[in-house]
Amino acid sequence: MIQQLRAVPVLLTQPVRLLRSYPRAALMADLLAGITVGLVLLPQALAFSLLAGLPPAMGLYAAVVAAICGALWGSSSHLHTGPTNTASIITLSVLLPIAAPGSPEFIAAAGLIAVLAGGIRLIMGLARLGLLVNFVSDSVAVGFTAGAGVLIMSNQIEPLLGIDLPPSDGLIETVVGAARQIDGTHLPSLALGVATIVLIALWPRITRRVPAVLVGVSLASLGAYLLDLEGQGVAVLGPLPAGLPPLARLPLFDLELIGQLANGALALAIIGLVEAVAIARAVAGYSRQRLDSNQEFVGQGIANIAAGLFSGYPCSGSFNRSALSYQSGARTAMANVFSGIFVLGATFALAPLIAHLPRPVLAGALAITAWSMVDRRTIGRFWRSAPGDAAIMIVTLVATLLLPLQFAILIGVLMSLGYYLLRTSTPRVVAVLPDSAFRHWGFHPERPQCPQLAVVDILGDIYFGAVNHVEESIQDILAATPGQRFVLLRMHSVQQLDISGIRMLEGLLRQLRERGGDLYFVRVREPVLARMRASGFIEQLGPGHLLDEDTAIDTLFYRVIDPAVCIYECERRAFRECHSLPKRTLPNGGAPAIPLLPLGARPVPTVEPRALWEELKSNTPPLVVDVREPREFRQGHIPGALLLPLPQLVGAPADLPRDRPIVLACRSGRRSARAAAVLANQGYEHLRVLRGGMIQWEGANLLTAVEV
């Protein structure tokens, strides 16, 4: 909260920083770009105000005030704020139930809803809620930009062909209506528009110092004047209202009206913000500018508040004017300030001249600018490399063409959010094995898994939305190799673990221990480990279950998993350690002959290596029976030990003295425990197991016999 309060003065003083750091070298480029955008802003302001059911003067006032304020308080150097198609349509739909279009009540409500929507945007910016636009993915921006470009081009059909189309918001209706009137095409208008497009397209080959759009519009307009095309029926802008934007008298304290406008103001605020930031991000994709979403929220908020107070109506970011600003060479946000000043000046000094500006010329300039908005290269990259993002892009593009723009953006955002939730709720969970060099772990579905130990990579967070998927994936891995009782989870990709994930791990731990196995972890990140400790899961897990990645398999291989399975029941060599054990697979896999011992069974008495050494030196030494394989026995065994490999011991009744204490030995003590269980079933008593097997015997530096 303190940081948010400290940020308020910074966000509100953006104009000071913009003017202080303004490079003088950018003045001419910004001025030319501002004039170019202003030439397009003029007719659009008039047209969009009529679309909203408002007087043309309100469009001009909104264009002047919003362009200046949006540029000064925003963060984008190219996002142009002013009257837009989307804002005009939403304004009309919200105000129609309240008053008749064009009436004083309708005009007052339009100004008031602009102030309300602007206030919501301003509060969101000051509260630093710009992170909300993170859900507008690049695929949404690209699809929306391309769709808007096509729509803008379709909207230029009427002035280019010189026909009269009924008002329509849809691409199909516009195209169908134009096709029906194609015979009525006004050839001078079409020729003038095409000439403008050709001039703008070819001018960069001559020079890029002077904006192509400005040259094309100027030369085409001059040609129209010299050829007297206006006299031949070419449509022109017509007379403009003159004067400074007056301060409006708004019913700011009419609570009943504010209540009626509240929902509409919220819709305007949210949709306008998403639209504006999507446009800014799309243009920033070309300009490589870093944006501050919070500052953009503030800029959009102040622009709308000022527009409402000075006789305007709700505004937002404009796709075509923003793209035109970038294409015209604008270097800073001052270009958009100059566009507003140009419109203001045009209502005074240039009004008679601009009144004769041919509409087909502006239509041609908008059409070629809109064509540049269709980023075919990026669309191709999405299509080839990112199927999920490509689907979002295509759906957003189609929705932009067929639905109102606010719904198109909303659909794209919801799809992006859904796609994000889908990806995070279905992290990749795979059983991994070391490569042929035993250096790197990876997914090798062509190789069989270890029959005892599953090593599982979890590539994503374990939170409530992903718990079911992670649990089901682990169960599928265990079901594919039914004998697996031990699971080693590799957690390096798990950044978050919530209480639902803890409960899932607890269930997995219970399941494994009930079937005689256990659960182990490697590479657990500190935040996840802290959550495990705080929830008591580490206490349930017990010591020795968080392993070092470099030694985890070695530890599990020699201290946890059953070597009898490795030697007598498994022909696989999944791990490096498998190669150190002899392989002597028994008939039918050996499972009936050497049953697994359940975890928690009655422990077999053990004897420490040094204690056994002392007993062997006594007058009544115990009989040491080594149940390992002959190769292991020859490499080192306890002096005087009897070799009786485990398969031989369980294959037939043992012929051992029943009146003498017997100590069973193997490599680590696990085969000995199984042998002791078999002998106990045959009636032998006084059985013990060498604790830690030959590993601990050798670790105690006790005498070892070696056969050459």
Q: Which residues contact 43 (CB under 8 A, 6 or more apart)?
A: 237, 357, 359, 362
For 433, the 3-state DSSP assignment is strand
Rounded to whole angstroms, how far apart are CA atoms 101 and 95? 8
How far apart (Å, rounded) are the C-alpha atoms in residues 361 and 198?
Answer: 11
What burial letters (b/e) apply to 514-530, b meaning 16+ CB within 10 Å? ebebbbbbbbbeeebbe
Cβ atoms of 310 and 65 within 8 Å: the answer is yes
Query: How many Å apart are CA 533 and CA 536, to the nearest integer?
Result: 5
Secondary structure class of 606 (helix, strand, coil) = strand
Query: End-to-end distance of the chain based on CA atoms, in angstroms?
Result: 78
Helix 526-535 / helix 499-514 crossing angle, nearest 10 deg: 70
Catalytic residue among 315, 566, 570, 666: 666
The secondary structure of the chain in percent helix, strand, coil, rounded to multiples of 5, reads: 60, 10, 30
| DSSP symbols for 92-121 | HHHHTTTS-TTSHHHHHHHHHHHHHHHHHH
Q: Residue 477's CB: how many other CB atoms inside 10 A? A: 18
Q: At 396, list the tokens.
A: 């957003």
From the list 438, 339, 391, the residue with the least C-alpha distance to 78 is: 339
Annotation marks residue 666 as catalytic: yes
Residue 219 is encoded by which pair of tokens? Answer: 């030369």
Q: Two tokens at 589? A: 């896999």
**Residues labelled catalytic:** 666
